[in-house]
Amino acid sequence: MSILVDENTKLIVQGITGRDGSFHAARMKEYGTKVVAGVTPGKGGSSVDDIPVFDAVAEATEATGANTSIIFVPVAFAADAVYEAVDAGLALVVIITEGIPVADMNKIYHHAAERGARFVGPNSPGLISPGKAKVGIMPARIHEPGGVGVVSRSGTLTYEVVYSLTRADLGQSTCLGIGGDPVIGTGFIDCLGMFEADAETRAVVLIGEIGGDDEERAAEYIKAAMSKPVVSFIAGRTAPPGKRMGHAGAIISGGAGTAEGKREALTAAGVGVADTPSAIPAMVKEALGLPAD
């Protein structure tokens, strides 16, 4: 099993005729994902890597039976692209685009919730269920199928941790980048609940960073509702207050959102907190009762 994407995922790529959309559509298809259509207004009837292109998401969905969309649309048009995907009835929308205004994302959040749709992102690298489907820009070669779920606010840290897990013979059920913007569609608690319910997932790695209180709220959820072990890492221990570090949501404000505060909350919930990403595999093995290398 896995969460959110698997061999039954039928994917539409919005913005497929652009540079990034065409490149990653080909990589996802090469991995084995069922990329059934692309959408670019005015380009209907053409194709990219033998993937048919449609003018509208509703048209593509009706023709292909798609259930998922990924958005590589430029930021000026990205919000409209999300609305189009949700209104077409797609169950999952993955937003790679970054820089969508917070006011737009607030409206999208409620619009998607009203229609029963889930979105991941924005500013997300997407997700991958190794051996089943890749929906995003994650490098496929570092992933291996297995029982460790990975959820992260940082794309590049995700790759580092996954590579370390794979080298330690700890394969992954699903790896998910939730995005680093202030308003996102799928958070830590959503993913933790899905991993808890997934029979294949035996342990979870949570990668957080400074800013907001998502990690603190995740710690409360883990303590109350998780039976599976969780290991974590928090980026930004040396970040100065008031200075944004990379992601729009990674900022210490008013003394809240510090790495130390997050570490304390997770530790109090029984979550192992690694000092470095490379320490995570050994901690996962210990949590699962597996022999160390």
What are the catalytic residues?
247
Question: What letter would DSSP give residue 142?
Answer: G
Which residues does 258 contact at the CB level (< 8 Å), separation at least 6? Answer: 210, 241, 252
- Amino acid 117 reads A
Q: Which residues are 235's β-sheet partners?
A: 209
Is residue 110 within 8 Å of residue 83, measured between CB atoms?
A: no
Q: Are 172 and 146 in contact, with CB atoms under 8 Å apart?
A: yes
DSSP-derived letter for residue 230 is E
Q: How many CB atoms lie within 10 A of CB 6?
A: 13
Kindly state the tokens that stand for 216.
């603190």
Residue 148 near residue 170 (C-beta atoms within 8 A): yes
Q: What are phi and psi of 69, to 5 degrees?
A: -135, 150
> CB-based burial of residue 152 (10 Å sphere; 0-12 exposed, 13-18 middle, 19+ buried)?
buried
Q: Which residues pair with 21 in a beta bridge?
A: none
Report the Cα 241 to chain-centroid distance in Å. Answer: 27
Q: Residue 252's closest CA among 234, 267, 239?
A: 239
Cα gap 228→192, rounded to integer Å: 10
